[in-house]
Amino acid sequence: MILEKGVEEKTFYLNLGPQHPSTHGVLRIVLEMDGEYIVNSDPVIGYGHRAHEKMGELKTYQQFLPNMGRVDYLHALAYNQCYCMAVEKLLDLKVPERAEYIRVITCVLNRISSHLLWFGAYLMDLGAFTPFLYCFDDREHLLDLLDGLTGSRLTYCFFRFGGVPVDIDADFVAGCRAFVSRLRSRWDDYNNLVTKNVIFINRTRDVGIITRDQCIKYGITGPILRGSGIPYDIRKSEPYSAYPEFDFEIPIGSTGDIYDRYIVRLAEMEQSCRIIEQACNKLPDGPIMAEKVPKRIKPPVGEVYQAVETARGEFGMYIVSQGDVKPYRIKLRTPSFANMSLFPEMAQDNLVADLVANLGSIDVVIPEIDR
Closest distance to other proteins from the beta carbon of 304 (Å)? 5
DSSP one-letter code for 352:
G
Which one among 306, 321, 358, 361 touches other proteins, defined by CB under 8 A? Answer: 306
Q: How many CA atoms does the CB half-sphere of 244 hold within 13 Å?
A: 6
Q: Is omega for the bond preceding 294 within 30 degrees of 0, making it cis? A: no
User: Which span sits near other proteins by CB under 8 A: 20-28, 174-182, 188-196, 243-251?
Assistant: 20-28
Give the number of residues written for the chain.
371
At 2, give phi and psi (nearest 5°): -65, -40
First-to-last alpha carbon distance for the chain, in angstroms, is: 57
* 25 part of the interface to other proteins, by CB under 8 A: yes
CB of 133 to other proteins, least distance (A): 5
| Of the candidate residues 11, 30, 89, 128, the single one contacting other proteins (CB under 8 A) | 89
Cβ pair 119, 182 in contact under 8 A: no
Task: Give kind and range of the element (H or E) at residue 5.
Answer: none
How many residues make contact with other proteins (CB under 8 A)? 72
Q: Which one-letter DSSP state was computed for residue 288?
A: S
Q: Is 127 in the site for other proteins (CB under 8 A)?
A: no
Q: Which range of residues in 129-137, 180-188, 275-283, 288-296 is near other proteins by CB under 8 A?
A: 129-137
Q: Is 367 in the site for other proteins (CB under 8 A)?
A: yes
Taking CB under 8 A as the rule, does residue 273 contact other proteins? no
Choose the binding region for other proteins from 62-70, 99-107, 164-172, 184-192 (rule: CB under 8 A). Answer: 62-70
Cβ 69 to other proteins shortest distance, Å: 8
Does residue 215 interact with other proteins by CB under 8 A?
Answer: yes
The whole-angstrom separation of Cα 275 and Cα 243 is: 9
Task: Yes or no: say if 89 and 306 are a contact pair by the CB < 8 Å rule.
Answer: yes
307 near other proteins, judged by CB under 8 A: yes
Identified binder of other proteins from the candidate list 35, 37, 49, 165, rule CB under 8 A: 49
> Which is closer to other proteins, CB of 280 or CB of 368?
368
If we measure between CA atoms, which residue out of 153, 132, 157 comes closest to residue 142? Answer: 153
Q: Would you count residue 199 as binding other proteins (CB under 8 A)?
A: no
Strands 313-321, 329-333: pairing kind:
antiparallel
- Closest CB to other proteins among residues 73, 187: 73
The least distance separating other proteins from the CB of residue 56, rounded to whole angstroms, comes to 10
State the Cα–Cα distance between residues 104 and 280, nearest whole angstrom.
10
